[in-house]
Chains A and B, each alone.
Chain A
Amino acid sequence: AQRVTQPEKLLSVFKGAPVELKCNYSYSGSPELFWYVQYSRQRLQLLLRHISRESIKGFTADLNKGETSFHLKKPFAQEEDSAMYYCALRGGADGLTFGKGTHLIIQP
């Protein structure tokens, strides 16, 4: 069975401080990992995926197979980063398995 764990329900940091949203997964095969974001009153949308090795809006995430983690990081938080962040895993099937999400609040 595949599982995604986001241990923090809520994370509050000050503007300009570093951000790290934790994500751990459980999957026996080779997974694809994603981060989705939902800003206030907007739909859920893809932020980034591990296969692209990209940086989106200053966020990066590295897949660590040894630790089965895919933590989302940003060196300097901005107020517009406040949102709900979901880590997701795609195993063999087409659908994604989501974590419960972390509500990120950036304080001015």
Chain B
Amino acid sequence: DAMVIQNPRYQVTQFGKPVTLSCSQTLNHNVMYWYQQKSSQAPKLLFHYYDKDFNNEADTPDNFQSRRPNTSFCFLDIRSPGLGDAAMYLCATSSGGADKKLFFGSGTQLSVL
């Protein structure tokens, strides 16, 4: 009964080879987020969509892009992964209303060789 689904659980890519991580939700939530979490660090917000409105954090590198083709799906594209991009990537959703509760996916652990 997973409500926020991330695939794959583990992703391995090569240095400089584009990679896409996917997230889907069954909650019909307006807002979808992408967080990056490196080892022993706090989850860091990369960007979020409020419906189709894209909101990029000021310090998110240009190497990271996102697409949200419909309410249910959101993708994280890393155009040229570097070794420093190896991390856990977390997708989350919220209704966007007064209830600010976030629902998280299990995450995708990205390795860059």
Given contacts A9-B40, A100-B42, contact A94 B105 (CB under 8 A): no
Contact of B48 among A34, A36, A95 (CB under 8 A): A95
With both beta carbons as reference points, the residue of chain A lying nearest to B105 in the complex is identified as: A43
Interface residues on B, range: 20 to 34
Q: Is the CB of B104 within 8 A of A44?
A: yes
Q: Is the CB of A46 within 8 A of B101?
A: yes
**Which parts of B95-113 form the interface with A (CB within 8 Å)?**
96, 100-107
Given contacts A45-B104, A46-B102, A49-B100, contact A95 B33 (CB under 8 A): yes
Is A32 on the interface with B (CB-CB < 8 A)? yes
**Which parts of A45-62 form the interface with B (CB within 8 Å)?**
45-46, 49
* Min C-beta distance of A45 to chain B, whole Å: 7
Q: Mark A71-103, 1 if CB is under 8 A from B, else 0.
A: 000000000000000100010011111111100
Is B19 on the interface with A (CB-CB < 8 A)? no
Given the complex, which residues of A lie within 8 Å of B96, measured CB to CB?
94
* Min C-beta distance of A71 to chain B, whole Å: 17
With both beta carbons as reference points, the residue of chain B lying nearest to A98 in the complex is identified as: B42
The residue in B33, B44, B102, B105 that gathers the most chain A C-beta atoms within 10 A of its C-beta is B102
CA gap between A95 and B58 in the complex, in Å: 13
Q: Is the CB of A90 within 8 A of B100?
A: yes
CA gap between A45 and B3 in the complex, in Å: 12
Given the complex, which residues of A lie within 8 Å of B63, measured CB to CB?
none
Is A21 on the interface with B (CB-CB < 8 A)? no
Interface residues in chain A, defined as those with a beta carbon under 8 Å from any beta carbon in chain B:
4, 9, 32, 34, 36, 42-46, 49, 86, 90, 93-101
| 8 A–B contacts from the bound complex (CB under 8 Å) | A43-B104, A43-B107, A44-B43, A86-B43, A94-B33, A96-B45, A96-B100, A99-B42
Interface residues in chain B, defined as those with a beta carbon under 8 Å from any beta carbon in chain A:
4, 31, 33, 35, 40-45, 48, 50, 55, 57, 90, 92, 94, 96, 100-107
